[in-house]
Chain A
Amino acid sequence: MFLMNRERLYWILQILGWGGFAFVVIFLASLSSGMSAIQIWAFVVLAIFNLVSTHFLRYIVKTYNWFKLKIPQLLFQSLLSLLALSCVNLVAQILINVAFGTLDPTEDFRILLILANLFQAFLFYAVWFLLYFLFHFLDNYNTSLKYEAKINEIRLNHLKSQLNPHFIFNALNSVRALVDEDPVKAKTAITRISNMLRFSLMMDKKQTIDFAEELNTVKDYLELESIRFEERLRIHYLIEDEAYGYKIPPMMLQTIVENAVKHGISNLVKGGLIEIKCREGLNDDLYIQVKNSGHLDQVPSLKSKGDEGHGLSNTVQRLKLIYGTHASFRIFNSGNQFVITEIKIPKQKVTFE
């Protein structure tokens, strides 16, 4: 709202400011000596001139983007322009007096009075200029804070979606029990957890990674989940060799598989199946399908910021950022028993690092 009304706010302040100026000047002058209607009009016209001239100054500031200038440069330019503007103002004052017939040549052309008028005009312009810049900087500061907060929120969400704490703590808990029951298995599990943590910390900077690298992480993940779920989780891989020639965004398949486990397996008393199928399409693209037991009651919102659809909406956004319209994402029921999540990834990226 605030942003939309900035233009209007500017005009309100301009009119109020210079209107106030005219009012005060007229009021003061009428106190010291009587005023004719003509003199009042002269002051009103002067105020209007001031409004127009400051608006012109704003135009200059905006067109030549003075906000980007370095301080010394800005000081120099603004002093010069304020001075120039004051001179113009002085000429305007004289012209106005001529126009209204209130000019008194013997009085008004005294050098002292001219200098005083010039100084006065300069002072008004300087105050205007300071206020204008002050307001602009405050406003700018405000928006940059908001921007910063937004960026941080995105980063945080991203981080959260990488390391699913629910998974990590549950995995650690099962490993604790496993230490007594099967020490060898426990050791393997700890290595797998380390692999996953390392991977999710390292991959942050990369836009895409080798398919094999991502698949290994997914395998680690599913091995860990099968320690938790035991016979409730059945895993099946159908990977074509061609898939290994592709690069894919890191943690993307991982997120999809995690979702499949969370909404599929962990909601079923008897557990179910996770099947990962990767095959090459006809046009040099890779189809990755994750099939899980379960049923979608409603298609999850891919745009919402809520917790539930979070991983998926993130996935869609990332695909769009990296591949533009060349990638696709869908999630659908396959019969009554299974849900399929599918992404299509082109061989060539659209953007380059």
Chain B
Amino acid sequence: MRAIVIDDERLARKELITLLNQLESVEVVGEAVNVDDAKEKIEQLNPDVIFLDIQMPEKTGFDLLEELENVPHVIFTTAYDEYALKAFQVNALDYLLKPIEPKRLEEAITRLQSKIEGYTKSEDATSSLNLKKLTLNDQVFVKDGDRCWFVKLSSVRLFESDGNYIKVYFDNFKPMIHKSLNALDERLDEKSFFRASRKHIINLGWVEGIEPWFNGGLVVTLKGGDKIEVSRRQAARFKEMMSL
């Protein structure tokens, strides 16, 4: 497993790298001192996992996750950020408290390893391609005000464009991300996500009902009750995809 350690303090990086070097399964391929540095190194080295400090000067660890196109697996490292950690509402994310206990580190690595193996079995191992599409198993980082989520794409039922933002619908939440729907559409796997109209991308796994609509369009009902109009142009494609 290839790892990058991101922390603004040299000694903190050194300490973690020393600990990681004792583990056979991890190879530290780089270290970064701030968010911009980290972004560059992640894009260049394409690591499996990053160890990310939350409190860093000028931009925080959360800002980094927001800026990244492809988010690798993340293990947060923090000294005492009760508020930052509370920000995570939904998913159990992994974090290590500094000073890091070697045993806790090993456990986190083991957990991550089984998670990665789980993925590679269920999907074709095309992961080395840098421009791979986002599949249902991928996670996206979403931040809205003080709250953050790592959302598995399979639980996202709908993307809705709203000005320069996209609303991401999952569970009872719909936080906004700063992106265009077109850019997102290009990155999503077309087998799982469908561009219903100019405004909407739906998750096909969440489709519950389909009804005809005016002008040859369709209305799709998603599990949970959202109704989305499929434009006439896309309706034909949609029928094609959904039929045998």
Residues in chain A near residue B11, CB distance under 8 A: 173-174, 177-178, 181, 227-228, 230
Note all chain A residues with C-beta closer than 8 A to B100: 173
Contact-residue size bin, chain A (C-beta under 8 Å from the other chain): 20 to 34
Q: In the complex, are the beta carbons of B83 and A307 less than 8 A apart?
A: yes
Per-residue 0/1 for B116-147: is the Cβ within 8 Å of any A Cβ (1 yes, 0 no)?
00000000000000000000000000000000
What CA separation (Å) do A227 and B58 show in the bound complex? 20
A241 at interface, CB cutoff 8 A? no
Q: Interface readout for A261-279 with B: 1 if CB under 8 Å, 0 if not?
A: 0000011110000000000
Flag if A267 contacts B80 (CB, 8 Å): no
B151 CB to closest chain A CB (Å) equals 27
Q: Which of B18, B34, B57, B58 sits near A177, CB closer than 8 Å?
A: B18
Whether the pair A170, B79 counts as a contact (CB closer than 8 A) is yes
Residue of B nearest to A268 (CB): B57
Q: Nearest A residue to B79 by beta-carbon distance?
A: A169
Q: Which residues of B contact A230 (CB under 8 A)?
A: 9-11
Distance between B35 CB and nearest chain A CB, rounded to angstroms: 9
Tally of B interface residues using CB under 8 Å? 21
Do the beta carbons of A269 and B34 come within 8 Å of each other? yes
Complex alpha-carbon distance, A174 and B100, angstroms:
11
CB of A330 to closest CB in B, whole Å: 26
Q: Which chain B residue has the least Cβ–Cβ distance from A271? A: B57
Contacting residue for B9 out of A165, A168, A170, A268, CB 8 A: A170
* Pick from B8, B34, B99: contact of A173, CB under 8 Å: B99
Contact A174 B18 (CB under 8 A): no
Measured CB to CB, the nearest residue on chain A to B13 is: A177
- In the bound complex, residues from chain B placing their C-beta under 8 Å from that of A166 are 55, 79-81
Residues 77-121 (chain B) with a chain A CB within 8 angstroms: 79-81, 83, 97-100
| A267 and B58 form a contact (CB under 8 A) | yes
| Residue-wise interface mask of B (1-21) relative to A, using a CB-CB cutoff of 8 A (1 in contact, 0 not) | 000000011111011001000
Find out whether the CB atom of B9 lies under 8 angstroms from the CB atom of A174: yes
Residues A169 and B80 in contact in the complex (CB < 8 Å), given A180-B18, A267-B58, A269-B58? yes
A229 at the interface (CB under 8 A from B): yes
The chain B residues found within 8 Å of chain A, CB to CB, are: 8-12, 14-15, 18, 33-34, 55, 57-58, 79-81, 83, 97-100
23 A-B Cβ contacts within 8 A? A166-B55, A166-B81, A170-B98, A172-B98, A173-B79, A174-B11, A174-B12, A174-B15, A177-B12, A177-B14, A178-B11, A180-B18, A181-B14, A227-B11, A228-B11, A230-B9, A230-B11, A266-B55, A267-B57, A268-B57, A269-B8, A269-B58, A307-B83
